[in-house]
Structure 1
């Protein structure tokens, strides 16, 4: 009787099955990876909107606490977004100039927003209608994302 030979290595069938399984797994993971990148930009967009809106609200609260005088003019909202970074004197000599943002808060969905005076956002003034798409230019009451796209949750970026 001849002893059975043991073959080392992988058969062609085993190799094809392994490659097929790895391909199926890779195809199922790709949409998740793509959605993760989109989701992270959406999270950053929501966070940035919240940061700017809180800064605008804090500016208005500081304006409302200000004593009546020559410095208290206008609606109480910043004239532009840059005023949140540069700050404003609210008439308290102890405090001086009050800043509400450390730096520009950019729109993550707009890569060119660093060069824009509105930082990639669309603005609404106090006198504009809530659904207005044109900025009146008097002050900055609200900001929103100008992108036409739809988020992963089905809502429109403009409605955030």
Structure 2
């Protein structure tokens, strides 16, 4: 049996098909990567917001010492991981609200610690103009990118 080599035309057709497949596959891979990062962002936001809410509940129940005029929200995000003394415990054991603080997946890892990757909103700031302040009432992404759902990531 005689082996047959590729002709120039067959080779060009094969390369054209591969180029077409690559132009379709690259955007699909980019969308899949964006979707995975958005899922991670959504999960991180839920985790941090639930920890902030648990901190506030503990504060409302008298388990966290409040300063005069304090809102009951943590002064900094790191308190959720570092813990705060339980005022109802005889030995003042620390209460912890997170094992670790997740970082914003849309921020470069070189940009400081996980707490610095988030935009923070203070309790006293108005909802239409969130800003940092004396405490941490809410967090948001610092990214200016728009999500696959058409909503800017910093508004999630």
SS of 1:119's partner is helix
User: How many residue pairs align between the two structures?
Assistant: 153
Alignment equivalent of 2:57, drawn from 54, 61, 73: 61
Matching residue of 2:87: 91
Deviation at 1:10, TM superposition (A): 2.3
Residues 112/16 of structure 1: CA separation in 2 closer, same or farther (3 Å cut): closer
Matching residue of 1:104: 101
Alignment equivalent of 2:122, drawn from 116, 119, 125: 125
Structure 2 residues not aligned, in runs of 5+: none
Q: What is the RMSD computed on CA atoms of the aligned residues? A: 2.3
SS of 1:115's partner is coil
Scaled by the length of structure 1, what TM-score is found? 0.84
What is the CA–CA distance in structure 2 between the aligned matches of 1:113 and 1:106, rounded to whole Å? 11
1:156 equivalent to 2:152? Answer yes
Scaled by the length of structure 2, what TM-score is found? 0.86
Question: Following TM superposition, where does structure 1 have runs of at least 4 consecutive aligned residues deviating by more than 4 angstroms?
Answer: none
Residues 116/6 of structure 1: CA separation in 2 closer, same or farther (3 Å cut): closer
- Do the aligned partners of 2:73 and 2:136 also contact (CA within 8 Å) in 1? yes
